[in-house]
Structure 1
Amino acid sequence: MTEQEARRMRRARFEGLAHLVVEPLHRYLLRRTGADMVEDVLSETMLVLWRRLDDVPGLVTGADPDPGDVLPWCYGVARGCLANARRADGRRLRLVERLIRSQEEAPAAAADHSELHAALGALGALDREVVRLWAWEGLAPRQIAEATGLTSNAVSIRLHRAKTRLADRLRRKDAGPTGHKKDEGRSSQ
């Protein structure tokens, strides 16, 4: 038997099985879950049946399958697929709840730093990245230079100018630099 004939026979076996079990499985799932989930679970069930076609009891090549032999096993597959779908929905719901809780908490935290975010937003993209790498990642100018492709001297100059502009925007002209020691803004080459 050629590979193409074997595929045709496998497909014919599956189509015979599908013709026999689709309606009973659809009814089975309708009684156990909402209509919005039935089609997805039925599709997943049919996919599992296709993959495990050789494991279906009572499915013999060339003969019509007996529903009494085939359906109980197919119901078990549908039951497992439904359980998987419910677990996935539960995970999605928990994730959505966590995201909602974090969104409720985030505005309060973001409100504390809104001036800072606005001041950072007023900087150019490269200056903003240099400041973030320095302040948030704790990198020295030579390390920032390596990350951005600039020279250490260019990073030091950009960092100094960006910190000055941030201080002006935040109305902290008289305050000293925050976050790092004074000598950290200079290159150590």
Structure 2
Amino acid sequence: MEFMLERGRSRDREARFEALVGVVAEPLHRYLRRRADPGAVDDVLAETMLVLWRRLEDVPGLGTGRTADPAEVLPWCYGVARGCLANARRAEGRRLRLVERLARTTRAPVSWPGAQDIGDGELESALRRLGAVDREVLLLWAWEGLAPREIAEAIGMTPNAVSIRMHRAKRKLAALLERKNGASAAHMSGEGQGRSDR
């Protein structure tokens, strides 16, 4: 019985959302086309719709019926779209600032102890065998000299996730290179020798 009630509430919520989308989708799309970069319009609209779904109970004038009055719901929905557009602009600004900062930064490549014993071809081959994200994390750490928190910002992960991935990627790379040198292998499985606290 509880399942049936929940299912009924879910269907009612979906019907109310569909009614809302039917009223606001086109006006919000026009609103965003006039204010956003053409390549970002659909993403910002999708984010707006997600917020509307999550906050469906907060939409003024929507009520419990399966119809929505544009005059009542649109102003609030424009506010949501405006907030989502501001978030997208801030995110793009952060991305551009990071790219500029990375372009200006000229750090010397970092190498591992014992790396001089590894041929470039051997290292390239081992790196190619890693997953794309693992390889990018290692290259940003070793060659660009970024700390886990900086890598996290560059690739859109949390610093903790980057640290874990880096630790595992170093172990995988060490195994791929079949390092016999204990110091090199120990360093490869380490956490970045003081870089993580930058």
TM-score (norm 1): 0.59
Aligned with residue 53 of structure 1, among 56, 66, 79: 56
Rg comparison, structure with higher value? 1
Query: Counterpart of 1:4 in structure 2: which amino acid?
Result: R
What is the match of residue 162 of structure 1? none
How far has the Cα of 1:54 moved from its partner?
0.4
Question: Is the counterpart of residue 40 in structure 1 residue 43 in structure 2?
Answer: yes
Structure 2: tracts of 5 or more residues without a match: 123-176, 191-198
TM-score (norm 2): 0.57
Partners of 1:13 and 1:69 lie apart in 2 by 14
1:97-150 deviation line (CA, Å, top 9, x unaligned): 222223xx24xx349x8xx85x3325974245x34478x79xxxxxx9xx9xxx
Partners of 1:62 and 1:133 lie apart in 2 by 65
What does 1:98-117 align with in structure 2 at a 5 Å threshold? 98-102=101-105, 105-106=106-107, 109-110=108-109, 117=115
Structure 1 SS opposite 2:39: helix
Preserved contact between residue 19 and residue 66 of structure 2 (Cα < 8 Å): no
How far has the Cα of 1:2 moved from its partner?
1.0
Aligned with residue 7 of structure 1, among 10, 14, 17: 10
What is the match of residue 121 of structure 1? 118
What is the match of residue 21 of structure 1? 24
**Percent of aligned pairs with the same residue?**
57
Preserved contact between residue 15 and residue 66 of structure 2 (Cα < 8 Å): no
Root-mean-square deviation (CA, aligned residues, Å) is 2.9
Question: Is the counterpart of residue 69 in structure 1 residue 110 in structure 2?
Answer: no
